[in-house]
Every structure is written in C-alpha cells, then in structure tokens.
Chain A
Amino acid sequence: MEHYIEHGPAFAWLRVKLRPGVELQGEAGAMVRMDPQVVMTTHLNAPQNAGFFYKIWALLVAFMRKVLGGETMFVNRFTSGSAGEIVLAPTLSGHIIHHQLTAGRRLFVQTGSYLASAGAINTQVRLGGLRTLFGGEGLVLLECSGEGDLWVNSYGGVVPIEVNGSFIVDTGHIVAFDGALDFKVKSVGGIKSFFFSGEGLVCEFRGRGTIYVQSRNLKALVSWLSPLLPS
C-alpha cells in the first residue's frame, strides 16, 4: 500500500493513499486528516474471520484492557471510492515503523504499539507473563501473521537490537519482536524492581532475532511526574 511516514523520528505520522477496493485498518482515535471521499467505519477489535465465541472473548479482553489501561476497544476501517488520502498518528511522541509481513514470519507487537494494518493479517491476543489482565501489568501482545502491511509506533525513538543469545528488556520498552525468539516475562520483585524504569517486569529473550526497543516508557513518565503533582 502506498504510504509515507513523515515528521519522524520525533513525531511521526502515517500518510496513506487509498485506492478503490483496498482497506486500511487503524487504531481508534488515530485519524488526523482525511479527504472528504474517504469513508470510515468502526468495528470491534477482533480479526475479521473470527468466530462468534472468539468475538465474545475479544470483547471481554478489550473491555478489561480499557478499564485498566485506557486502551480502545474498537478499530476504524477506511475505504475510498476514488483515490483519497488519510493520515493517522499515534497518541505519544515518537516514531512509526513499517513491517511487510510475509507468510511464515510472525511478529509480536505490544498492543499499545499497534497503529494500523492492511492486507490479510491475522492478529491474536497473547497474554505474556503473570498478573496480566487483572493486575493491569504484564505484557499484552498481538501475534501478527499473514501477508500485508503493519505499522507500529514507539514512544520515543526505536532501536532495533539483534539478539544472539540472551537479552533482557523492561516490558514497558518493548515495541515488537521476531516470532522466532523465545520469551519469558519475569517479575523482578523486591529491591531489584528499582533497576528498571517500569515496575520491575522484564522480558527475557533467548535465541536469534530482532527486538524493537523504544527509548521511553509511559510508566516511567508517570513515576517521574507523580511526586510533582499537586494534590
């Protein structure tokens, strides 16, 4: 799909040229501007070919995530009867990267990092680690596979890190990673939780593959600002 990532790496936005017959899916709330002939429809955040019971499960997961983390339950789909342009942007400062997904290659994306997709992409929610859904912590991942375009955003800059062995990342700093890597979420509790800018939840990766790490973290921002807030 014809697209342009502009104003990066600090405040990137995604400009897509829609042609008749193609559809762009974007996270709710991401639309910046669009030509008047572009049509927007809103859908529950579940794969298009999902069955009824999966939809109920997705609704429950999405509802819990919204209550706990402010994430949106819905996605918007954009089509255009004639050539038209649409621009999407994430909420936080940072960059956008494009992945071309091809058959056989999986990419795990942290749900907050998902911005948009197009083509025949399947996304399945994977809950990584302990205390995930109900603690509001942990890693909520989208396992993406299929063929098509995928756009993810980072809070801050994004650095691709090649892993060949073993590597540890604070969970709040994960944008996406190769499906080929083994990963395990660990709770680094007690005094060691001060190591990391998040809450002491880290992800240990093993194997060979690429991890996309973002240089800023929303929970670290909150920790930094909280003592400065008036009551």
Chain B
Amino acid sequence: MHFEIQYNPAHSLATAHLNVGESVRAEASAMVSLSNNIDVATNTGPAGRGGFFKKARRGFFGGESFFQNTYRARGPGASVSLAPQLCGSMVVHELGQGPSLLIQASSYVAAPDSVDVDTKFQGFRGFLSGESLFFLRASGHGPVLLNAFGAIETIALNGELIVDTGHVVAFTEGIEYSIDKAGGGWIQSFLSGEGFVLRLRGRGTLYIQTRNPSEFGRTVGVMLPARSS
C-alpha cells in the first residue's frame, strides 16, 4: 500500500491506496471517504491493538479518544481518504533499516500492520501551563502517516537545537532529548508565554510544525461560550 498526499500545506488529504487483502489502521476521527470495497473493523477497548481510552484532557489529542479503525481492501482499486482535525500538512515517514520514530501523540494518523505503534508513554505534564506531551513509538517497516498543524519542516539534525514543545511532531530514536524551561527561571517561563522547550541533541531526523495546537486552542477556546463540564 502507499499514501498519496494532496493539498499540502494547508488542507492536506491523504489517500491510502490498498491492494487486495492489504489493510491500514487509522485514527478513527480521520476518515473522510472510502471506496465501496473496503471492510472496516474496529479495535475494541484498551486491549485492542494500538487503542486505548482517555478522558478529555487538554493538549492531549485535543479531546479525541485514540480509537483506531482497520480498513481492509476486499477488491482492487480500494482506497480510504484521511484528514486530521486541524488545518495543515501531512507527511509520510518511511520506517525500515533506520531507527524507530518517536511521535508526539496527536501527530500520528495512520500506518499499515507492518508498523508497530507502541503506546508506551513518554509522558510529561506541564506544571504551570497545563500542557501535556506524550510520545508514541513507531517501529517495524512501512510508511507512517503524520499530521502537522501548519506546514512541516524536516530537519536533518546534527548538533543541538531548542524547540518549543508544542511545535514538535516527531523525531527518530537516538536523538537525545530533555524537557527544559524556556526562560531562565520559572516565572520567566510563564510570562514569556513559551512554557517548556525540548532540548534535542544528536543526529537524526526531526519534524517540526509551524503552528502550536495548544496555543491555538487556548486563543480560540477562551472566546467560545463556556461549557458545563
């Protein structure tokens, strides 16, 4: 199977073209359309492959549960089209001989069965900002479909870089990372609006998005009518 991506960078649509018998697992809310020769199976409950249940928590999947559907082609010329929640781009990272990929949880969209997505969390919860940062680990071989809020910049890292946590999409395992405050002290981190940053060191591939979903959520969220729960 392969992913075809159209309408980058603003309104990307990814179509998975499947050969007979092939399947792709995708985040449940990402489905746009599909051809009539596809069987859809749901991954049941927390024990399901790659699925788990979570409460509506800010900054983590933006309130969506991480349910996945498996789409299997029953006939020739089968396709399923996928799109993320927010405007922006999508990119395919090929897993194979190289290292595994650590993916910021809300940036993962879909992958075939030959890719194993480990929901072991590298979790971190922001102290003052309430931001959360969780990583998934994708290993195996095959294409992994990632989404970004905004455009995607692919960086061949060889050295050290400081990146605002909300802008991290994914990076290859082997790159050392640590969470740090953006400014000199706690107060400055809060006032500067930057919150936390990821210090990345080493060699590998790094994907960054040009917009920050949590910042967008906070800016618009405060203008929306209040909710009762």
Per-position contact with B for A57-99: 1 when CB-CB < 8 Å, else 0? 0000000000000101110100000000000011111000000
**Does chain A have a CB within 8 A of B99?**
no
**Does chain B have a CB within 8 A of A180?**
no
Question: Which stretch in A17-25, A28-36, A161-169, A186-194 binds the other chain?
Answer: A28-36
Residues on A with beta carbons closer than 8 Å to the beta carbon of B193:
27-30, 72, 74, 76
Residues on B with beta carbons closer than 8 Å to the beta carbon of A11:
9-10, 88-89, 150-151, 210-211
Q: Is the CB of B211 within 8 A of A93?
A: yes
**Does chain A have a CB within 8 A of B182?**
yes
**Does chain A have a CB within 8 A of B178?**
no
In the complex, what residue of chain B is closest to A90 when comparing beta carbons? Answer: B211
Residues on A with beta carbons closer than 8 Å to the beta carbon of B208:
32-33
Tell me, in angstroms, the Cα distance from A128 to B188 when the chains sit together: 32
Q: Tell me, rounded to whole Å, the shortest Cβ–Cβ distance linking B84 to chain A.
A: 13
Question: Which stretch in B38-46, B132-140, B156-164 binds the other chain?
Answer: B156-164
> Would A36 and B161 be within 8 Å (CB), given that A7-B210, A42-B183, A76-B192 are in contact?
yes
In the complex, what residue of chain B is closest to A42 when comparing beta carbons? Answer: B192
In the complex, what residue of chain B is closest to A40 when comparing beta carbons? Answer: B183
- What total count of A-B pairs have CB within 8 Å? 118
Question: Which stretch in B69-77, B103-111, B212-220 binds the other chain?
Answer: B212-220
Residues on B with beta carbons closer than 8 Å to the beta carbon of A27:
193
Q: Tell me, rounded to whole Å, the shortest Cβ–Cβ distance linking B130 to chain A.
A: 14
Contact of A226 among B87, B188, B224, B228 (CB under 8 A): B224
Residues of chain B at the chain A interface (Cβ within 8 Å):
9-10, 87-89, 150-151, 153, 160-164, 167, 182-184, 188, 191-194, 199, 208, 210-212, 215-216, 218-220, 222-225, 227-228
Residues of chain A at the chain B interface (Cβ within 8 Å):
6-7, 10-13, 27-36, 38, 40-42, 70, 72-74, 76, 89-93, 218-219, 221-222, 225-226, 229-231
If A34-B162, A91-B215, A93-B10 are given as contacts, then 19 extra A-B residue pairs at C-beta distance below 8 Å, sorted by A number, are: A7-B210, A10-B10, A11-B150, A11-B151, A13-B150, A13-B210, A29-B192, A31-B182, A36-B161, A40-B183, A41-B184, A41-B188, A74-B192, A89-B210, A93-B211, A219-B223, A222-B220, A226-B225, A231-B227
